[in-house]
Structure 1
Amino acid sequence: MKFHPSLVQARHASPLGPMILAASEAGLAGAWFEGQRHLPECSGWRQAPDHPVLLEAMAQLDDYFAGRRDGFDLPLDVAGGTPFQRSVWQALRTIPRGQTISYGALGARAGCPAAVRAVGAAVGRNPLSIVVPCHRVVGADGSLTGYAGGLERKRALLRLEGAA
């Protein structure tokens, strides 16, 4: 995924560790845990902790972690993803809080039921951790599988949401 150098960023303290949030003129472009896999090089992005989209993202994340929010209502900028990735990320947004889905079922929901590996790769490249809930995807047998932010965070997020 390509990120434009004109993105602005802010750090946010979450109960699961520091996060880096990024925004463009179009909306929230990234939400990553510090040190997670696929974290882009962001040292050239200007710090903008008072950016309206970043402020709203921080407030909504705080509400989510406090159990006061089931989903997110933010403008999103996923223009850096491929059309296939964007279709998978859109399908991720349909998984309700507290529920999980297998990669195969997610692929069917995204219109590509036979592309389980490609779906898994797209889920792994999701630039909007928590906001686009890739942590709700599990193995076909219900096992916890890869999460760019680490399996302990995935477990904690699912526990927070009351997922079985």
Structure 2
Amino acid sequence: MTAQHDAPHDLVGIGIGPFNLSLAALAHGLPQQGADPLAAVFYDQRRDFRWHPGLLLDGATLQVPFLADLVTLADPASPWTFLSYLKHKERLYPFYFAEQFHIQRAEYDAYCRWVAGRLPGLHFGHQVDAVRWNPERDLFEVDYTQLDTDGEAEALGRTYTRNLVLGIGTAPFVPEP
């Protein structure tokens, strides 16, 4: 291992799709009782966030209203809401006056990429190779390979966590234990 982080995280997420992106956004800056903010990191082997590539057909909309974005129903004051995205893109008023509650799928992908590009603790280009329980430390060990731009191994690393969330999608590759 070339990179090892001994200080344990509170949470490690494997996979960065909408579920774990939502979790990362909600966890960002979350205070714990009398402690530092929640320490959370997320890993995905892809180079960047892409939601349903190849299925973002022109005019196709989400089946749920924009309020079912990554965070609004849990934390309407979050900086990661769809309305915050629209404000950042200077499109809040045009969206408001259009009176459309169902946004286009391509717009949802752009919103998620906007969040993923600004949210700390997301590590794209990191393939998780193994997860083990370490009974001596009472923690999970997470081994990963950092990939270069061609998808080749660049560095190996290990991190530790108290909690683990798998968000690997509908066609998972689960390595042998």
TM-score, normalised to structure 2, is: 0.25
Greater gyration radius: 2
**Greater RCO structure (CA 8 Å; 6+ sep):** 2
Structure with greater strand share of residues: 2
Q: Provide TM-score, normalisation by structure 1.
A: 0.26
Bigger helix fraction:
1
